[in-house]
Amino acid sequence: MRFNSKLPDVGTTIFTLMSRRALEEGALNIGQGFPDYCHRSAIGEPLGGGGRRRTQSVCADGGRGRVARTDFGKTARELRRRIDPHTEITVTCGGTEALYDAIQAVVGPGDEAIIFDPAYDAYEPAVRLAGGRCVRIALTPPAFASIGTRCGSA
């Protein structure tokens, strides 16, 4: 089966590149989350694991049940407000999905999104898939300020 990509010019992600490089160098890869602990997995049954199993990824449960109460209780205490995990929390499978979801929620066809360079490689594809266009602003080291601006100036 052949399909046409919506983003044919988007290549390999930074995670793939860094994971490959870490393997080549025998380095510890801390650029990406690879949890290695037992947890109850919703996909354990279909995969034949059943119940608690050792895994390399965390399967979200949509913010329901014990996970929601445990993970978001601390946030609620820190914010000094009650948080309903069923209506006020979105559980994602990582930061990239969270960014994608947020961009899809606020960027529409024809919108412009400001991207500060250097930028995480997931921003532009998400903006383009939402029908938006990226406006890039280069930040220069060492202060990583945009050209023509100074800290504290409007």
- 134 assigned to some structural domain: yes
Average pLDDT, the chain: 74
- Over residues 129-149, the mean pLDDT reads 85
- 137 assigned to some structural domain: yes
Is residue 6 a contact partner of residue 129, using CB atoms and an 8 Å limit? yes
Check residue 22 and report its DSSP letter. Answer: H
Residue 143 has pLDDT above 80, yes or no: yes
Check residue 78 and report its DSSP letter. Answer: H
Q: In this prediction, what percent of the chain has a pLDDT beyond 70?
A: 68
| Residue 128 belongs to domain spanning | 107-144
Looking at residue 90, what is its pLDDT? 74
Number of domains in the chain: 1
Write out pLDDT tens, residues 94-114: 888 999 999 999 999 999 999
Q: How far apart are CA 70 and CA 45, in angstroms?
A: 24
Is residue 105 a contact partner of residue 81, using CB atoms and an 8 Å limit? no
Write out pLDDT tens, residues 1-49: 777 778 888 777 777 788 888 889 988 877 766 655 554 444 444 434 4
In terms of Cα–Cα distance, which of 59, 56, 12 is closest to 35?
Answer: 56
Looking at residue 113, what is its pLDDT? 97
Residue 57 has pLDDT above 60, yes or no: no
Residue 138 has pLDDT above 60, yes or no: yes
CB atoms within 10 A of CB 76: 16
Query: pTM of the prediction?
Result: 0.58
The SS3 call for residue 18 is helix
Q: How far apart are CA 152 and CA 154, in angstroms?
A: 7
